[in-house]
Amino acid sequence: MVSKFLELPQAIESYVKSGDLIAMEGFTHLIPFAAGHEIIRQKVKDLTAVRLTPDLIYDQMIGAGCIKKLIFSWGGNPGVGSLHRFRDAYQNGWPNKIEIEEHTHAGLTNRYVAGASGIGFAVLKGYSGSDLGEHTKNVSEVKSPFSDEVLTAVAAINPDVTILHAQQADKAGNVMMWGITGVAKEAVFAASKVIVTVEEVVEKFSPKFSSMIIPSNLIDAISVVPNGAWPSYASDFYERDNNQYIAWDEISKEREIFSKWLDDEIYSKSTAGKK
Amino acid sequence: MVSKFLELPQAIESYVKSGDLIAMEGFTHLIPFAAGHEIIRQKVKDLTAVRLTPDLIYDQMIGAGCIKKLIFSWGGNPGVGSLHRFRDAYQNGWPNKIEIEEHTHAGLTNRYVAGASGIGFAVLKGYSGSDLGEHTKNVSEVKSPFSDEVLTAVAAINPDVTILHAQQADKAGNVMMWGITGVAKEAVFAASKVIVTVEEVVEKFSPKFSSMIIPSNLIDAISVVPNGAWPSYASDFYERDNNQYIAWDEISKEREIFSKWLDDEIYSKSTAGKK
Amino acid sequence: MSENLNSTWTADEMMTIAAARTLKDGNTCFVGIGIPSTAAILAKSMQAPNLFLIYESGTVNTNPQKLPLSIGDGELANHALTVVSMPEIFNYWLQSGRIDVGFLGAAQIDKFANINTTFIGQTYDSPKVRLPGAGGATEIAASCKEVAIIIRQTTRTFVKQVDFITSMGFGEGPGSRAKNRLRGGGPSRVITDLGILEPDPETLELTMTYLHPGVDIDQAIENTGWELKVSPNLKTTKAPEQSELEKVRALVSTSDK
Amino acid sequence: MSENLNSTWTADEMMTIAAARTLKDGNTCFVGIGIPSTAAILAKSMQAPNLFLIYESGTVNTNPQKLPLSIGDGELANHALTVVSMPEIFNYWLQSGRIDVGFLGAAQIDKFANINTTFIGQTYDSPKVRLPGAGGATEIAASCKEVAIIIRQTTRTFVKQVDFITSMGFGEGPGSRAKNRLRGGGPSRVITDLGILEPDPETLELTMTYLHPGVDIDQAIENTGWELKVSPNLKTTKAPEQSELEKVRALVSTSDK
């Protein structure tokens, strides 16, 4: 297998630096939790972290003090409620104050599109009528050179590193994912470095509906981490562990319980997904 | 099967009108020749016809007098040489003078992207350094609201009708195509009406690499026309008939030979692909 | 949640059924998670089997067999005609104006059906309660041909002024949508646990046009944080049929939660 | 096409082999159809088995087993790692600047490696010969880290002034690319049937740096429509090895044409 196959700790150590702009994508599906936990374990700090839906993964990283700024468009525990560690950091500065930059899904999606396209901005109809525009950087307007039309412009986002989880890699280091892929493709093309954790390595991909192949030359490191998206899901591998999402509400509510969780489940364990 | 399954003559009659802006896409692969021939047969006139690569299909329609304006980005007989009917119309006005609007592939592709996105223009880095910009409408510039960056802007294109050929439809009227799909998706979303000819109707789609499903609610008419892309190809159905592309060079060179071809191969035949 | 003691159904069931009934067969519907999703899936088992459901996660024409817990649930992907990228969903499907109905929930709503899902409190920087934010809602509210909103009616939710406009309904009234260059027609109805409100054709102010069976108008007025307009032709929602109740209960019982 | 009478190979074979040799293993190469494609596919059987070929039709990392007749040939799709849409090819792969080498042909070229593939003649509206036009070339020339051009060297192709700039090389010399906001580095070499030209590091003017075996410099000068600059270190291209000739002939014999 080609040399970009690395153990997860080595992949994170090689390509994630404190202070980076990091994107960890996966819309409900294929969220790279194992990679997030390894980032916590390596005590990476001061990340500007972008993700449409921060979800538990960024709540955990915020609680662990990895993140100084969050760029997002929907910040909840999907199907459950609030992200308590995010709220505690944002409202009370624990463990550190975090800055936020908030978008709509359409807007943040198009920031990735512009980043992937290698241009400084994308145009869309967006944010209009919302108070969000007043509070959000990197959103502006452009007038059409062809008519009176005025469109919203959003600035490109270009992560230093994008991290994804996918179902499969082949031995040449190409990656295949299927099911909900969200903005995965755009997050890859927008980034300087790309790390992908995968469920398994196969000889040869077989066709799947709604699938997408990420060629190896777009990827810097691949780590084989079965269950690496747990407690989110990996289509055709395992389902979302909804009980964990519900349990997180309790774990994350109090700093003490969260800190114990961090010690027990992250710091005192080594990498690899659960089970 | 749902009522949008129509015989090809009925589909063309119902949805293609003289004077329309028409897009017939398919990049080398899946070119909707049978539909083009039916348009010739129905003596539709004054079309503004957009297509990245006019190819034989538009050369034939130009020679037959269907087209008054051609919007394109590469006008040759791929692998062979020139499009003689296009040149005769453009340079000598036979059978009618045609206007041209010429783009780069990247530019015309992004005109479709803007059209599909329901906005008036798209931004890209394009046309720069080329003399093409001076001669081409619907290309301009916009300045970034975030920096000194200046990008190219291209105006959206929104065909009255887009016509495609695809491998399969299911009985609910969804369409699946695979292999090279070019700008097919964008041409569908940009259009007011969509006609698709297909090789066959299947009970259920099976997964394919690089496949794309066009949901039935984006499609107005589906016609089952086996070999409907001949002499271009339909991946997994038949190969490109390169001899026909070579033969076209001779057929199209002289008005008389072309006119005879038109009589023998189009006017005196009914619809359906060859063989 | 108010419980209707005189009936054999809950107020939430009535709200969900009333919402489901508004969806036309064959329409495309861009669905928010929660009760909008329950209502949309319910509609497919009722009058709208060919309702074309799209979720912001990219699932296109999905026919979930059980209630998804989240917008990106595997259930939605596994039962979809196709799953596409989010740029395609937002730019090609939504922004282009081809969606018939957007179906949204909200934390707060005002009389012009402006929606808040961002925060409760005085200021954006120091909210009393921070909510998840916009997600797809801002552009769903902007671009769909019409928008339906499902929300329980209380003085906490039906407020004189929303603390933040996440997604515009009719702004400050006639002209606001055009001024903000919003493509779609805006809210066509708000379905609550007490009844249905529709915008007045002239003032665009939400007007109570239906009360659910067993609800009286005072109850609606009391649970509204502004001076509620009531239609002169106020009607009563048709009570849930037994088959509707069976369907909604069967559906809710599939939830993993 | 000139035939080299003293050798056992044709000038086209020499040109194709010389072009193939310039491609580095592991590089990404955006390929135009015709001889550039032949050379790129040849390179994969020589020193660059992991050359990553992309065609504008959307075929990504393709390994064709025979020569494609056109840019959208089924051969390219069937042997590709994946096939993507043209917006993805142009916006994400090409425009973003991630392609190492663009490989182009041309009808005319000038001393600053500006390329014409649009028309021959006086005016755009009344051309003497209408050519196919830009296709992907304009943005390939603009965005790739470097560009290689393959063209037979004659006074019809190597002209003092191209009739139309379809794709910019170095424009009018130093500064032109920056002024035109072109992302990539521009032409790094022009490979002809007579030799190889490279831009002078300072003036950017194409300079003959290699002659193919059996070609003398007068032949190159005669076949150039401007006063040809010649490198003081003019070298001779290494003659084709037998294995290279076998490979190029085997490849060309696969052509359907």
**pLDDT at residue A79, as a whole number:** 85
Amino acid at B68: K
Task: Say how many domains are in chain B.
Answer: 1
At residue C1, does pLDDT exceed 80? no
C-alpha A272/C-alpha B28 separation (Å) is 46
Contact C91 B185 (CB under 8 A): no
Contact B118 C97 (CB under 8 A): yes
At residue B273, does pLDDT exceed 50? no
User: With a CB-CB cutoff of 8 Å, which residues 167-226 of chain C face chain A?
Assistant: 167-168, 171, 176-177, 180-183
Q: Which of D56, D75, D139, D244 is catalytic?
A: D56
The answer as to whether A268 is a domain residue is no
**pLDDT at residue B2, as a whole number:** 63
Contact C182 A129 (CB under 8 A): yes
**pLDDT at residue D69, as a whole number:** 84
At residue D4, does pLDDT exceed 80? no
Mean pLDDT of A184-199: 98
CA dihedral A40, A46, A49, A53 (to 10 degrees): 60
**pLDDT at residue C69, as a whole number:** 84
Cβ-based contacts under 8 A for chains A and D: 35
In chain D, which residues have their Cβ closer than 8 Å to the Cβ of B129?
Answer: 138, 141-142, 165, 167-168, 171, 176-177, 180, 182
D166 touching chain B per CB within 8 A? yes
C-alpha A207/C-alpha A215 separation (Å) is 15
How many other C-beta atoms lie within 10 A of the C-beta of residue C176? 18
Contact C92 B215 (CB under 8 A): no
**pLDDT at residue D7, as a whole number:** 59
pLDDT band per the 50, 70, 90 thresholds, residue A247 = very high
**pLDDT at residue C7, as a whole number:** 59
Contact D135 B105 (CB under 8 A): yes
Contact C81 B116 (CB under 8 A): no
D interface mutation test: which of B72, B103, B104 has the most D CBs within 10 A? B104
**pLDDT at residue C70, as a whole number:** 85
CATH of D4-255, one of 1.10.3720.10, 3.90.1300.10, 3.80.10.10, 3.40.1080.10: 3.40.1080.10
Q: Please state the domain extents for chain D.
A: 4-255
C-alpha C200/C-alpha D246 separation (Å) is 81
Contact by Cβ (8 Å): B146, A142: no
* Residue of chain D nearest A213, judged by CA positions: D82
- Residue A146 has its nearest CB partner, among B120, B149, B205, at B120
End-to-end Cα distance, chain C: 19
Look at residues D166, B97, A136, A15 and name the one whose alpha carbon lies nearest to residue C138.
A136
Amino acid at C202: E
Q: If residue D55 lies in a helix (H) or strand (E), which one and from where to where?
A: strand D52-55
% residues pLDDT > 90 (chain D): 90
* Residue of chain B nearest A115, judged by CA positions: B124
Catalytic residues of C: 56
A186 touching chain C per CB within 8 A? yes
Contact by Cβ (8 Å): B103, B264: no
D250 touching chain A per CB within 8 A? no
List, in sequence order, every beta strand (DSSP E) within chain C: 28-31, 52-55, 59-62, 80-83, 101-104, 108-109, 115-116, 119-120, 129-130, 146-150, 187-191, 195-199, 206-211, 229-236
At residue C139, does pLDDT exceed 90? yes
At residue A1, does pLDDT exceed 70? no
Contact D95 A118 (CB under 8 A): yes
pLDDT band per the 50, 70, 90 thresholds, residue D257 = very low
C87 touching chain A per CB within 8 A? yes
B interface mutation test: which of A141, A143, A178, A209 has the most B CBs within 10 A? A209
Tens of pLDDT, residues D156-172: 999 999 999 999 999 99
Tens of pLDDT, residues D199-252: 999 999 999 999 999 999 999 999 999 999 999 999 999 999 999 999 999 999
* Helical axes A55-63 vs A242-253, angle rounded to 10°: 30
- Residue D133 has its nearest CB partner, among B73, B128, B240, at B73
Cβ-based contacts under 8 A for chains B and D: 175
C-alpha C38/C-alpha C49 separation (Å) is 14
Contact A116 D183 (CB under 8 A): no
Closest-CA distance of chain B to residue A119, Å: 7
* Residue of chain A nearest C77, judged by CA positions: A179
pLDDT band per the 50, 70, 90 thresholds, residue A275 = very low
C-alpha A160/C-alpha D233 separation (Å) is 43
Residue D244, both tokens: 């290279």
At residue C241, does pLDDT exceed 80? yes
**pLDDT at residue A273, as a whole number:** 44
C92 touching chain B per CB within 8 A? yes
A interface mutation test: which of B128, B205, B209 has the most A CBs within 10 A? B209
Contact C92 B174 (CB under 8 A): no
Contact C90 A131 (CB under 8 A): no
Contact D81 A118 (CB under 8 A): no
If you average pLDDT over every residue of chain B, what do you get?
A: 96
Pairing of strands B150-155, B139-143: antiparallel
C-alpha D96/C-alpha D104 separation (Å) is 19
Mean pLDDT of C96-101: 97
Contact by Cβ (8 Å): A197, A167: no
**pLDDT at residue C167, as a whole number:** 98
At residue D3, does pLDDT exceed 70? no
**pLDDT at residue B29, as a whole number:** 97
C-alpha C71/C-alpha C69 separation (Å) is 7
Pairing of strands C108-109, C115-116: antiparallel
**pLDDT at residue B53, as a whole number:** 97
Amino acid at B222: I
Mean pLDDT of C151-170: 98
Mean pLDDT of D69-84: 92
At residue D67, does pLDDT exceed 50? yes
At residue C100, does pLDDT exceed 70? yes
If you average pLDDT over every residue of chain A, what do you get?
A: 96
- Residue C96 has its nearest CB partner, among B118, B174, B212, at B118
DSSP secondary structure letter of residue B143: E
Contact B130 D70 (CB under 8 A): no
Tens of pLDDT, residues B81-113: 999 999 999 999 999 999 999 999 999 999 999
A148 touching chain C per CB within 8 A? no
At residue C4, does pLDDT exceed 60? no
DSSP lists the bridge partners of residue C116 as: C108
C-alpha C244/C-alpha C246 separation (Å) is 5
In chain C, which residues have their Cβ closer than 8 Å to the Cβ of A105?
Answer: 56, 86, 90, 134-136, 139
DSSP string computed for A253-274: HSHHHHHHHIIIIIITS-SS--
The answer as to whether B61 is a domain residue is yes
Asked whether the ipTM of the predicted complex exceeds the cut of 0.85, the reply is yes
User: With a CB-CB cutoff of 8 Å, which residues 217-256 of chain B face chain C?
Assistant: 217
Look at residues D96, D95, D74, D94 and name the one whose alpha carbon lies nearest to residue D83.
D74
Q: What is chain C's alpha carbon radius of gyration, rounded to the nearest angstrom? A: 17
At residue C3, does pLDDT exceed 60? no
C-alpha A244/C-alpha D160 separation (Å) is 72
Q: CA B118 → CA A133, C98, D34, distances in Å?
A: 21, 9, 37
D73-78 contact pairs (CB < 8 A, 24+): D73/B28, D73/B240, D74/B29, D74/B179, D74/B233, D74/B235, D74/B239, D74/B240, D76/B180, D77/B29, D77/B179, D77/B180, D77/B210, D77/B235, D78/B179, D78/B235
Look at residues C220, C138, C143, C230 and name the one whose alpha carbon lies nearest to residue C182.
C143
Q: What is chain A's alpha carbon radius of gyration, rounded to the nearest angstrom? A: 18
The answer as to whether B220 is a domain residue is yes
